[in-house]
Chains A and B, each alone.
Chain A
Amino acid sequence: EPEVTQTPSHQVTQMGQEVILRCVPISNHLYFYWYRQILGQKVEFLVSFYNNEISEKSEIFDDQFSVERPDGSNFTLKIRSTKLEDSAMYFCASSESQGWTEAFFGQGTRLTVV
């Protein structure tokens, strides 16, 4: 069964460092997303991406965040200068269509900023 894969599963970084979280979406999907979940809190939307550009982003997704699809298979989230409050599980998701069809999630990358 096709699945979304994320690497690494756990990343520890020092405050102020740059991190790149990687995702391989399901191959025939066209829409890609990043969500995050702070421990004990709800899943929060960060950004959606289609046709090589951001289609929507939340208030959380400020200038410290960027996304890229560097080739035909990978989708990345970069945090330029990490803060303690960026510590969370980051989930990548993909869907065939935007919004009205279900998104399939990866297993997440646990980011710990120390």
Chain B
Amino acid sequence: EDQVTQSPEALRLQEGESSSLNCSYTVSGLRGLFWYRQDPGKGPEFLFTLYSAGEEKEKERLKATLTKKESFLHITAPKPEDSATYLCAVNANAGKSTFGDGTTLTVKP
């Protein structure tokens, strides 16, 4: 069974304080790893797709990396508007993605 574990569960940062979120996974034959952002009461908003170990993607203050066992979402100089829950999901069997519990990020001004 596919498993996704995200850590930490919650992260509080000061504005400008860079940090990383972790997503470790166990799947048989990874097809894709996805990062989403979710605001309270809203649907997941797509951020990145990573397909193979060594791959990196960047968007504004966010950078996602992938190894054979885990992915990191690096947040550089975060702003209060980056506060949200960040979800990691993996796809090994076509048609189904398995999500982690998420990391709730709070950035204080």
B20 close to A (CB within 8 Å): no
A99-B32 in contact (CB<8A): yes
For chain B, give the interface size range: 20 to 34
Tally of A-B residue pairs with Cβ under 8 A?
67
Contact A100 B31 (CB under 8 A): yes
Q: How far is the CA of A41 from the CA of B38 in the complex (A)?
A: 13
A73 CB-CB contact with B under 8 Å: no
| B91/A99 in contact, CB under 8 A | yes
Chain B residues contacting A42 (CB-CB under 8 Å) are 99-102
Cβ contacts under 8 Å, A102 to chain B: 32, 34, 46, 49
A-B contacts, 18 listed (Cβ < 8 Å)? A31-B95, A42-B102, A43-B44, A43-B87, A43-B99, A45-B97, A45-B98, A89-B41, A99-B95, A99-B96, A101-B32, A103-B46, A105-B45, A105-B46, A106-B43, A107-B42, A107-B43, A108-B41
